[in-house]
Amino acid sequence: DTAVSQTPKYLVTQMGNDKSIKCEQNLGHDTMYWYKQDSKKFLKIMFSYNNKELIINETVPNRFSPKSPDKAHLNLHINSLELGDSAVYFCASSLSGGANYGYTFGSGTRLTVV
Amino acid sequence: GQQLNQSPQSMFIQEGEDVSMNCTSSSIFNTWLWYKQEPGEGPVLLIALYKAGELTSNGRLTAQFGITRKDSFLNISASIPSDVGIYFCAGLRYNNNDMRFGAGTRLTVKP
């Protein structure tokens, strides 16, 4: 059983398109995140949701809109894709306030904008 | 946001050698974590440290939470080829909702 699953694994699309990445976790965690990893492998937090409520919204263009229909899902919708959006996007989840503070990451979605 | 400075950027070592990498920050963290990322995968948690001065081992890996709460190191003893990957330090503040990563140390192990 995959703990944090993202789909699709790869996404190639043209500039100007709108696309979505889906994320689901089956760990019973109450907090979910989106991270962006650039070509230099730097991991930067984009959003954090706790119990479906937006907690963190880093300086991300408003073309990026996260949506959390329930605690187990956090989807990322991107409008009007640009070349600079090309990166690997990771979903993660954690349990807030628990003894184990580690985040569990999905295997990533490689987005290529052409 | 908080800046984590991780070094070295990359390491090329021979199988069997020991490895050491560290992370420093201008901010205090309540939790330090070390992750490993392999190609095509997400980061996987190796060790989590919760108290200043804590020294924790996980097999051949040993990590320490600095006394000042602004630094941490990770040691890998007797490296093997499957240790290859990118190692990230990460810091968490008390609210556990905002984990920040270092830039990573890319480890190559030659058989």
What Rg value do the Cα atoms of chain A yield, rounded? Answer: 13
Question: What is the structure's pLDDT at B2?
Answer: 57
> In which residue ranges of chain B is pLDDT below 70?
1-2, 95-96
Total length of chain B: 111
Question: What is the structure's pLDDT at B77?
Answer: 97
Q: Is B33's CB within 8 Å of A92's CB?
A: no
| B51 Cα to chain A: minimum distance (Å) | 12
What are the tens digits of pLDDT across the range B53-76? Answer: 999 999 999 999 999 999 999 999
What are the tens digits of pLDDT across the range A45-95? Answer: 998 888 778 877 777 899 999 999 999 999 999 999 999 999 999 999 998
- Mind giving me the DSSP string for B27-92? S--SEEEEEEE-TTS--EEEEEE-STT-EEEETTEEEEE-TTSSEEEEEE-S--GGG-EEEEEEEE
Question: What is the structure's pLDDT at B55?
Answer: 96
Interface membership of A18 toward B (CB under 8 Å): no
Are B29 and B89 in contact by the 8 Å Cβ rule? The answer is no
**Across A93-106, average pLDDT:** 78
Interface membership of A42 toward B (CB under 8 Å): yes
Q: Is B41's CB within 8 Å of A108's CB?
A: yes
Question: What is the structure's pLDDT at B92?
Answer: 87
User: What six digits make up the tokens of B12?
Assistant: 């090329």
Using a pLDDT cut of 90, give the percent of chain A over it.
Answer: 74
User: What six digits make up the tokens of B44?
Assistant: 């996987």
What is the Cα–Cα distance from A62 to B19, expressed in whole angstroms?
42
**Mutation for testing the B interface, residue in A34, A36, A37, A43 having most B CBs under 10 Å:** A43
Which chain A residues have a beta carbon less than 8 Å from that of B48?
100-102
Interface membership of A31 toward B (CB under 8 Å): yes
Which chain A residues have a beta carbon less than 8 Å from that of B45?
102-104
pLDDT of A99 > 60? The answer is no
Are B93 and B30 in contact by the 8 Å Cβ rule? The answer is yes
Torsion of CA A99, A22, B100, B66, to 10 degrees: 30
What is the Cα–Cα distance from B37 to B26, expressed in whole angstroms?
25
What is the Cα–Cα distance from A14 to A112, expressed in whole angstroms?
8
Give the list of residues 6+ apart from residue B39 with CB closer than 8 angstroms, or none: B85
Relative to beta strand A31-37, strand A64-70 is unpaired
Interface membership of B50 toward A (CB under 8 Å): yes
